[in-house]
Amino acid sequence: MRKALSDVDVAANLAAVAARIAEAARAAGRSPESVIPVAVSKAQPLARVRAALEAGHRTFGENRVQEATAKWPPLKAAFADLELHLVGPLQTNKVGDAVALFDVIETVDRPKLARALAAEMTRTGRRLTCYVQVNTGEEPQKSGVLPGDADAFIAACREEYGLPVAGLMCLPPMDEEPALHFALLAEIARRHGLPLLSMGMSADFETAVRFGATHVRIGTEIFGARPAR
């Protein structure tokens, strides 16, 4: 394959992020391998994505189904061991496309969506790993189930809708100390015996690792600033 020319040194950024994750994990008494960086490639030029693939990275996140459907099928064909996470809101009319393309849905947050996902997984036989998104900051403009509704919703997903929920995800308010939100998410996961925690982004992933993140969603620190869409 022709080596992808990227304006950003994606391979060096990936190595730097891995080193910072390892350092944060060791400081928290965790193994570095217990934390996986999800490279969030939304709105990034394809050359930067290819550079990450050529550097050996295989776990990616996208926040829009339509953009991901246009971008990823040829890359999935070329790299069989890719793991693609949906980290943005999912509308029920896009559930078919999402289940066909993604491996992990991180943003399950309402009964109608949980039911539609479970039905599509049954229909296609594709069982995706699901996370329930919790709106830990109770922000009206943000997706996610409210913390007070999380216990009942998680139980309903697993017992009533038959959805394979394995973890929780959150996106804390921009202007608040993220540690409180990470601690809350970890506590809800612990109550339900959920092993996976997707929390932490470029600005705060080391804090998230300290609070038990198994997946940190990193865009700009890996790919550089996102060009305007």
Ligand X SMILES: *Cc1c(COP(=O)(O)O)cnc(C)c1O
Among residues 30, 42, 48, 85, the one that binds ligand X under rule CB under 6 A: 42
Cα–Cα–Cα angle for 165, 133, 194, rounded to 5 degrees: 35
Query: With respect to ligand X, which residue has the nearer C-beta, 103 or 162?
Result: 103
Token pair listed for 121: 């997984």
Rounded Cα–Cα distance for residues 168 and 131 (Å): 5
Residue closer to ligand X by CB (options 137, 219) is: 219
Give the per-residue contact string, 165-184, with ligand X (x = CB under 6 A; - = no).
Answer: ------x-------------
Considering only 192, 202, 206, 224, the residue that binds ligand X (CB under 6 A) is 202
Binds ligand X (CB under 6 A): choice among 101, 201, 208, 209: 201
Q: Which residues pair with 108 in a beta bridge?
A: 132
Q: Is 63 an interacting residue with respect to ligand X (CB under 6 A)?
A: yes
Q: 15 with 37: CB under 8 angstroms?
A: no
Task: Work out which of 87, 101, 132, 165 binds ligand X, going by CB under 6 A.
Answer: 87
Q: Name which of 178 and 219 has its Cβ closer to ligand X.
A: 219
Q: Output 162 or 206, the one with its CB closest to ligand X.
A: 206
Nearer to ligand X, 61 or 147 (CB): 61
Position 121, amino acid? M
Told to check if 218 binds ligand X by CB under 6 A, we report: yes
Q: 178-192 and 147-155 helices cross at what angle (nearest 10)? A: 30
| Per-residue mark of binding to ligand X, 118-147 (x: CB under 6 A) | ------------------------------
Residues in contact with ligand X, counted by CB under 6 A, come to a total of 14
Question: How far is it, in rounded angstroms, from Cα 151 to Cα 169?
Answer: 14
Least Å distance between CB 90 and ligand X? Answer: 12
Asked if 21 interacts with ligand X (CB under 6 A), we say no
CA-wise closest residue to 134 among 95, 94, 85, 180:
180
Q: Which residue has the tokens 């993220």?
A: 178
DSSP 112-151: HHHHHHHHHHHHH----EEEEEB-TT--TTS-SB-HHHHH
Q: Say how many residues make up the chain.
A: 229
Residues that bind ligand X (CB under 6 A): 40, 42, 63, 87-88, 171, 201-203, 217-221
